[in-house]
Amino acid sequence: MRDGSARDGLRTAAAHAEHIDDFDMRHLRYFLTVVRAGTVSAAAQELRISQPSLSQQIRRLERRIGAPLFIRSSRGVELTSGGRAFLREVQGIPGQLRSAIAAAAPTPRTWPVGVCGGVPAEVLAEVQAGLAGQHAEQSGAQPGPRLPMRAVDAADQQELLRHGEIAFGIVRLPLPASGLLRAVVWDEPLGIVLHSGHPLAGRSHLGWDDLAGQRLLWYDDGCAPGYADSVPAQLAALGWHAELFPMDQDQHALFVHALQTTADLVGLRPRRAVQGAAQLLWRPLPTPRPPRERLAVTALADSHPARVLRRAAAQRDWHLPA
């Protein structure tokens, strides 16, 4: 039997629900996608619907609310003051709904995982084993949830986590984001990666003087925010003020191609990340304390996925940074 305060809370919630019977969760997803994408056309492409159809649905939402949400211009869309107020109140709803479903049915059918660029296959296998293993321990022989993984820039992952579009993210640390639980699954020293045809390929050890004339094939800010800035800063402190050659590094083939076709270009990776790549050579940095690559699984703090992540971290000895 529920106590009086609980009954009062349910009565209030039910009364509030009467006023949103005709509110479609689809419209909420459309609104949040337009906010994130910045233009209706980009949002329509992401949602896989036509731009006129999306514009019509946004206008229908605005009529239902009774206020305009966006200011439209040739550059895209901006939120009105009412749109900003609406966003503040609704941006947590998808994540809250996902958590409510997870609480009622602790074994969801899918746990989508967003993956930043350049993550080694063995890290994906470790994350798969660690997260899926929690379900196996909790439910015995029952089939566990799928963990579909897709490429998502680290800069976009927090918003997708908050909106409930992914349950977990895989990112490089440091990551300038708040409200996330992080579990480090990979912590390796970085070294120089050369193509086998590079002028320095014949040297087993490289000095700072050798590297002074080399450009560094590196991540752009969206692909690895925080990490993209911190590692070059560490290299500069060690004496190598590298000229950066930024690129989207989701595809290993493009990484290899860039090193192969540019004579003064080197990469920076852990040794294990390029083992078995016949065209690539790895050389240690000339320092006893090189920068490191740390890959972490993230989830929204205090969410059901965060509880799953904590159990996996304890079982797999993944480090939880403070």
Pairing of strands 180-195, 265-270: antiparallel
What class, spelled out in words, does domain 4-91 have in CATH?
mainly alpha
Q: Are 193 and 280 in contact (CB under 8 A)?
A: yes
Q: Report the candidate in 7, 53, 1 with the shortest Cα–Cα distance to residue 27.
A: 53
Who has greater pLDDT, 92 or 142?
92
Name the residue ranges covered by the structural domains of the chain.
4-91, 105-322
**pLDDT tens, position by position, 62-112:** 888 889 999 988 788 899 999 999 998 888 887 777 667 666 655 557 899
- DSSP code of residue 226: T
Residue 245 pairs in a beta bridge with: 217
Quick check: 114 and 166 in contact, CB under 8 A?
Answer: yes
SS3 label, residue 3 = coil
Q: Is the pLDDT of residue 234 over 70?
A: yes
Residue 140 per-residue DSSP state: T
pLDDT score at 202? 94
Q: From CA 22, how far away is CA 29, in angstroms rounded?
A: 15
Give yes or no for a cis peptide into 174 (omega within 30° of 0): yes
Q: Which fold has domain 105-322?
A: D-Maltodextrin-Binding Protein; domain 2 (3.40.190)
Alpha carbon separation from 319 to 119, 160, 234 (Å, rounded):
18, 24, 22
What pLDDT is stored for residue 133 in this prediction? 79
pLDDT for position 127: 96
**Kind of pairing between the strands at 113-115 and 243-247:** unpaired
Q: 105-134: b or e for each residue (b if 16 or more CB lie within 10 Å)?
A: eeebeebbbbbbbbbbeebbebbeebbbeb
Smallest Cα–Cα separation from 240: which of 222, 218, 220? 218
Measured on CA atoms in the order 244, 245, 250, 254, is the torsion positive or negative? negative
From 35-49, 125-139, 290-304, the region with the lowest mean pLDDT: 125-139
Phi/psi region, residue 226 (left: phi>0; alpha: psi -120 to 50; beta: rest), is left
* pTM above threshold 0.85: no
CA–CA dist 170, 138 (Å, integer): 23
Mean pLDDT of the chain: 86
Torsion angles phi and psi, residue 78, rounded to 5: -130, 150
Of 173, 176, 124, nearest to 150 by C-alpha is: 124
User: Cβ(284)–Cβ(188) under 8 Å?
Assistant: no
